[in-house]
Amino acid sequence: MSDIIESYLKKVLGQSDQVEIRRSEMADLFNCVPSQINYVINTRFTVQKGYLVESKRGGGGYIRIIKVKLLDESEMLDTIIEIVGNSISQNDAFSIVQKLYEDDFLNKREAVLIMAAMDKVVLGLDNKTAKEVRARILKSCLNNLRYE
Protein backbone atom coordinates (compact mmCIF):
# COMPACT_ATOMS: atom_id res chain seq x y z
CA MET A 1 0.00 0.00 0.00
CA SER A 2 2.83 2.41 0.87
CA ASP A 3 4.41 1.89 -2.56
CA ILE A 4 1.11 2.67 -4.29
CA ILE A 5 0.58 5.87 -2.31
CA GLU A 6 4.19 6.95 -2.92
CA SER A 7 3.87 6.21 -6.64
CA TYR A 8 0.65 8.23 -6.86
CA LEU A 9 2.16 11.25 -5.10
CA LYS A 10 5.33 11.10 -7.22
CA LYS A 11 3.21 10.94 -10.37
CA VAL A 12 1.38 14.09 -9.29
CA LEU A 13 4.72 15.72 -8.42
CA GLY A 14 5.95 14.82 -11.91
CA GLN A 15 3.31 17.18 -13.30
CA SER A 16 3.90 19.94 -10.76
CA ASP A 17 6.62 20.94 -8.32
CA GLN A 18 4.26 20.61 -5.37
CA VAL A 19 1.12 18.82 -4.29
CA GLU A 20 -1.31 19.79 -1.56
CA ILE A 21 -3.39 17.01 -0.04
CA ARG A 22 -5.76 16.38 2.79
CA ARG A 23 -4.80 13.34 4.81
CA SER A 24 -8.36 12.11 5.27
CA GLU A 25 -9.18 12.47 1.56
CA MET A 26 -6.05 10.51 0.62
CA ALA A 27 -6.96 7.81 3.15
CA ASP A 28 -10.44 7.57 1.61
CA LEU A 29 -8.97 7.44 -1.90
CA PHE A 30 -6.67 4.55 -1.00
CA ASN A 31 -9.05 2.92 1.48
CA CYS A 32 -6.54 3.04 4.33
CA VAL A 33 -6.14 4.71 7.70
CA PRO A 34 -4.81 8.30 7.79
CA SER A 35 -1.73 7.16 9.70
CA GLN A 36 -0.70 5.18 6.59
CA ILE A 37 -0.60 8.47 4.67
CA ASN A 38 1.54 9.98 7.45
CA TYR A 39 3.90 7.01 7.32
CA VAL A 40 4.42 7.36 3.56
CA ILE A 41 5.02 11.10 3.78
CA ASN A 42 7.35 10.85 6.78
CA THR A 43 9.47 8.05 5.32
CA ARG A 44 9.41 8.60 1.58
CA PHE A 45 9.22 12.37 1.18
CA THR A 46 12.10 13.58 3.33
CA VAL A 47 14.58 16.40 2.84
CA GLN A 48 17.24 13.75 2.27
CA LYS A 49 15.22 12.49 -0.68
CA GLY A 50 14.70 15.95 -2.14
CA TYR A 51 11.34 17.01 -0.69
CA LEU A 52 10.04 19.58 1.77
CA VAL A 53 6.84 18.84 3.64
CA GLU A 54 4.66 21.53 5.16
CA SER A 55 1.49 20.87 7.08
CA LYS A 56 -1.32 22.75 8.73
CA ARG A 57 -3.51 20.99 11.25
CA GLY A 58 -7.17 21.55 11.91
CA GLY A 59 -10.38 21.64 9.87
CA GLY A 60 -8.85 23.40 6.86
CA GLY A 61 -5.59 21.56 7.31
CA TYR A 62 -3.43 20.24 4.53
CA ILE A 63 -0.14 18.56 3.79
CA ARG A 64 1.97 20.17 1.10
CA ILE A 65 4.84 18.25 -0.51
CA ILE A 66 7.33 20.33 -2.48
CA LYS A 67 10.01 18.91 -4.73
CA VAL A 68 13.21 20.78 -3.93
CA LYS A 69 15.07 22.44 -6.77
CA LEU A 70 18.47 23.83 -5.96
CA LEU A 71 20.09 26.51 -8.08
CA ASP A 72 23.49 24.92 -8.56
CA GLU A 73 25.71 22.06 -7.44
CA SER A 74 27.52 24.13 -4.84
CA GLU A 75 24.26 25.23 -3.23
CA MET A 76 23.02 21.64 -3.28
CA LEU A 77 26.18 20.39 -1.55
CA ASP A 78 25.98 23.15 1.05
CA THR A 79 22.35 22.31 1.78
CA ILE A 80 23.04 18.59 2.11
CA ILE A 81 26.05 19.21 4.36
CA GLU A 82 23.86 21.40 6.57
CA ILE A 83 21.20 18.66 6.73
CA VAL A 84 23.81 16.05 7.68
CA GLY A 85 25.02 18.09 10.63
CA ASN A 86 27.23 16.34 13.20
CA SER A 87 25.38 13.03 13.27
CA ILE A 88 23.38 10.96 10.76
CA SER A 89 21.74 7.56 10.76
CA GLN A 90 22.73 4.95 8.20
CA ASN A 91 19.26 5.08 6.60
CA ASP A 92 19.34 8.86 6.19
CA ALA A 93 22.91 8.80 4.86
CA PHE A 94 22.04 6.08 2.37
CA SER A 95 18.95 8.08 1.28
CA ILE A 96 21.14 11.10 0.54
CA VAL A 97 23.60 9.02 -1.49
CA GLN A 98 20.72 7.33 -3.33
CA LYS A 99 19.20 10.73 -4.21
CA LEU A 100 22.56 11.98 -5.51
CA TYR A 101 22.84 8.84 -7.64
CA GLU A 102 19.27 9.17 -8.97
CA ASP A 103 20.00 12.80 -9.91
CA ASP A 104 23.18 11.68 -11.79
CA PHE A 105 25.38 13.60 -9.37
CA LEU A 106 27.19 10.37 -8.45
CA ASN A 107 27.80 7.36 -10.63
CA LYS A 108 26.91 3.89 -9.35
CA ARG A 109 30.46 3.01 -8.32
CA GLU A 110 30.90 6.22 -6.31
CA ALA A 111 27.56 5.72 -4.58
CA VAL A 112 28.38 2.11 -3.67
CA LEU A 113 31.82 3.07 -2.33
CA ILE A 114 30.45 5.90 -0.19
CA MET A 115 27.72 3.66 1.24
CA ALA A 116 30.26 0.91 1.96
CA ALA A 117 32.45 3.34 3.88
CA MET A 118 29.50 4.44 6.03
CA ASP A 119 28.05 1.00 6.79
CA LYS A 120 27.51 0.35 10.52
CA VAL A 121 29.21 -3.05 10.27
CA VAL A 122 32.30 -1.51 8.69
CA LEU A 123 32.43 1.31 11.25
CA GLY A 124 32.13 -1.19 14.11
CA LEU A 125 31.35 1.52 16.65
CA ASP A 126 28.59 2.15 19.14
CA ASN A 127 25.54 3.76 17.55
CA LYS A 128 26.19 7.34 18.73
CA THR A 129 29.83 7.33 17.65
CA ALA A 130 28.99 5.60 14.36
CA LYS A 131 26.47 8.34 13.54
CA GLU A 132 29.08 11.01 14.21
CA VAL A 133 31.80 9.27 12.15
CA ARG A 134 29.30 8.60 9.34
CA ALA A 135 28.42 12.30 9.23
CA ARG A 136 32.12 13.23 8.96
CA ILE A 137 32.68 10.68 6.18
CA LEU A 138 29.64 11.86 4.21
CA LYS A 139 30.48 15.55 4.60
CA SER A 140 34.06 14.89 3.53
CA CYS A 141 32.87 13.04 0.41
CA LEU A 142 30.43 15.84 -0.40
CA ASN A 143 33.07 18.53 0.05
CA ASN A 144 35.47 16.63 -2.20
CA LEU A 145 32.84 16.45 -4.95
CA ARG A 146 33.32 20.20 -5.41
CA TYR A 147 36.82 19.64 -6.79
CA GLU A 148 36.50 17.05 -9.53
The pLDDT tens digits of the residues spanning 45-76 come to 887 677 888 887 766 678 889 887 655 677 77
Helix, coil or strand: residue 105:
coil
Give which of 8, 109, 9, 101 is closest to 48, Cα–Cα: 101
Quick check: pTM over 0.85?
A: no
Q: Compute the distance between CA of residue 107 and CA of residue 96 in angstroms, rounded to an integer.
A: 14
Hey, which CATH number is domain 2-67, 3.90.550.10, 3.40.50.1100, 3.30.56.130, 3.50.50.60? 3.30.56.130
Domain chopping of the chain, boundaries: 2-67, 73-147
Residue 69 contacts residue 27 (beta carbons within 8 Å): no
Tell me yes or no: is domain 73-147 CATH 1.10.1200.150. Answer: yes
State pLDDT tens for residues 71-107: 567 777 888 888 899 999 999 999 999 988 988 888 9
